[in-house]
Amino acid sequence: MLRNSATPRSRHKNRKRNNPTRKAGFCSNVVGMKALTSSAMLLASVLLILNGFLITSTHSEEEEPIEDNNSYVLDKDLPKFGEPIQNLTVAVGREAVLICVIDNLQTYKVAWLRVDTQTILTIQTHVITKNHRMTITHVEGRKWVLRIKDVKESDKGWYMCQVNTDPMRNQIGFLNVVVPPNILDYPTSTDMVVREGSNVTLKCAASGSPPPIIIWRREGNEPISSDASSHNTSTFSIPRVNRLDMGAYLCIASNGIPPSVSKRVMLIVHFSPMIWIQDQLVGAALGQRLTLECNSEAFPRSINYWMKNDTIITQGKRFEPSTHEASNYKVVMKLTIKEVDIGDFGTYKCVVKNSLGETDGSIKVYHIPSTTTTPTSPPTTTSLPTTTDYPYRKNYKNKIYRPIDEYSPSSKILLGDNGDQWSIDLSKDKERYRENSATLEDQREKEAFVDNDTNSNARSTSHLNFKDLNLLLALLMMFHLR
C-alpha cells in the first residue's frame, strides 16, 4: 500500500502547505535527488519507496489534536479516477493492456501493483519490477497504460492502480489469461497392439484454461463399436476388441479458445489368417482364359501363394498369380490360367500364412466339353419369270403342297388359255402341282389338311389324277379352238 510519509501533525505545523513534495509524502531528502543522474535518481526513488513509501505512518498519542478546518485538502482538489479499470481476458502469448485514467493528478504519484503478490510494478513512468515484459506509458496527460507483452498463465490475477494521496486512493482490475488446450504426452495413450478378443482402454490428458473437453473419434468418421464406453470422456474403453475396431482413433481437446488440438492413437489388432472362397467349383473349356479368386484376412500381414499338387505356382507363361490389398488386413488373391490345357484341370489351393497361424482354401477346376454344330442351308429352287400376276385360288383339302423341281423330267409346263403357266408332275409317287408365278415361300405356306386314313389318301390320289387329266384335255381343246 502506498502511504504518505509525512504525519498530519507535521503538515499542520508546516506553513508551506502548497509544497508539492510534502503533498506527495516524500521526505525532504527528495530535494537533493534532483542533482543526481537519472539512473541514480531512479535507484534513490526505489530506496525511498522501500524505506518510507510503503510504511504506514503512525500517530503518537501525545500529539496535538488537529483542527478539522486545516487537516486535509478539500476533496474536490484531490485526484480522481476518470473511469474504472476494465477487466481483461487475454490468450496466452498475446499482449495485455491495463489503463488507469486519473483526472486532476497535480503532483501526486501513480503506481501499478500486483495485488496477490504485493509487488510494486511501476511508479510514474519507471518500471520497478525486473519483469522485462512490462512497460508503462503516460498518454494524453491522464492515462497510465500498463502493457504486459507475451502474457503467461502466471500473469493471471488482480492489478491495482494507486495514487499516493492521504488517504491513499486506488482501483483494481482483473486480468484473466486463457490458454488453448494442449494434449499431454503422459498419461495419453500411444499406439497399441492387442490380440483380437482382449479389452482395450485408451487415455487422453489435456491442459488448458478453462479446462478442455475431450472427445474420441475414429479417423475417416468410421463408426465406433457399439460396445464401447462413452467417447466424450478422457478414458475410452472397448471390450472384446475385434478386427473391425482396428484403425486410427483421434483424441480431440477443445475449450473454446482456438485452436483445438488432437492426437492420433493407432489401435492394431492381431489375429490368425482366415479365407473364404466364392466359387469352389469352376468349369472351363480347353483354350479358355480362366481366373481363380480367394479372399483372405490376416494381421500381421500374411504371405499368400497358390499351390497345385503340392507345388507352389509361380509367374510364368501359363500362370499369372497376383494379390491386391483391399485394406490393411484384407487381401484378394487371384490366379489366372492364360490358356487352359488338359493338364490344368484339378484342385488348386490358395495358402495364407502369418506369425499367428496358417490356413488354405481349395478350388476345383473341371472340364467342360466344347459343342460344334453344322450349319444347314435351305434347298435352292428356281421359278420361271412372269410379267403378269393373276388371282390364285385352289382347294387344299386332302392335299400337301411341296416345292416342285421344275427341271425334273417327270414335270411338264403347260400354258393355259388365260396366259397362266402350270407345272404338272405326272410321276406316280409325286402327285403335286404349283403355279409358276408363286414363290417358294408362298408354296410352303400352302400346307394343310392331311388325311390320316391311308385308303382315303389312295382314293384322293386317284381322283386327283383323273382331275388332272381332264384339266389337261380341257386346256388342249381351248388352245386348239384359239
- C-alpha span between 145 and 97 (Å, rounded): 7
Average pLDDT of span 460-471: 58
Given the C-alpha cell 534513490, which residue does it identify? Answer: 44
Higher-confidence residue of 35 and 173: namely 173
Q: Are 176 and 92 in contact (CB under 8 A)?
A: no
Cis peptide leading into residue 378 (ω within 30°) = no
Amino acid letter, residue 63: E
What is the band of 159 on the pLDDT scale with cuts at 50, 70, 90? very high
Give residue-wise pLDDT tens across range 317-353: 999 999 999 998 999 999 999 999 999 999 999 999 9
pLDDT score, position 377: 52
Provide the terminal-to-terminal Cα distance of the chain, rounded to the nearest Å. 159
What is the band of 5 on the pLDDT scale with cuts at 50, 70, 90? very low
CA atoms within 13 A on the CB side of 140: 10
Homologous superfamily of 80-178: Immunoglobulins (2.60.40.10)
Q: Are 209 and 231 in contact (CB under 8 A)?
A: no
Given the C-alpha cell 482483473, which residue does it identify? Answer: 174
- C-alpha span between 319 and 336 (Å, rounded): 6
Average pLDDT of span 161-168: 94
pLDDT score, position 482: 58
So what's the architecture of 185-271 in CATH?
Answer: Sandwich (2.60)
Query: Does the structure show a pLDDT above 70 at 286?
Result: yes
CATH T-level assignment (fold) for domain 278-367:
Immunoglobulin-like (2.60.40)
Same fold, 185-271 and 278-367: yes
Map out the domains of the chain as residue ranges: 80-178, 185-271, 278-367
CA atoms within 13 A on the CB side of 420: 16
Q: How many Cβ atoms sit within 10 Å of the Cβ of residue 22?
A: 20
- Judged by DSSP in three states, 273 sits in strand
Give residue-wise pLDDT tens across range 206-255: 999 999 999 999 998 888 888 888 788 999 999 999 999 999 999 999 99
Amino acid letter, residue 224: I
pLDDT averaged over the chain?
75
Give residue-wise pLDDT tens across range 362-409: 999 999 987 754 454 554 544 444 444 434 334 433 333 344 444 444
Q: Over pLDDT 90: what percentage of the chain?
A: 56
pLDDT score, position 315: 93
pLDDT score, position 226: 82
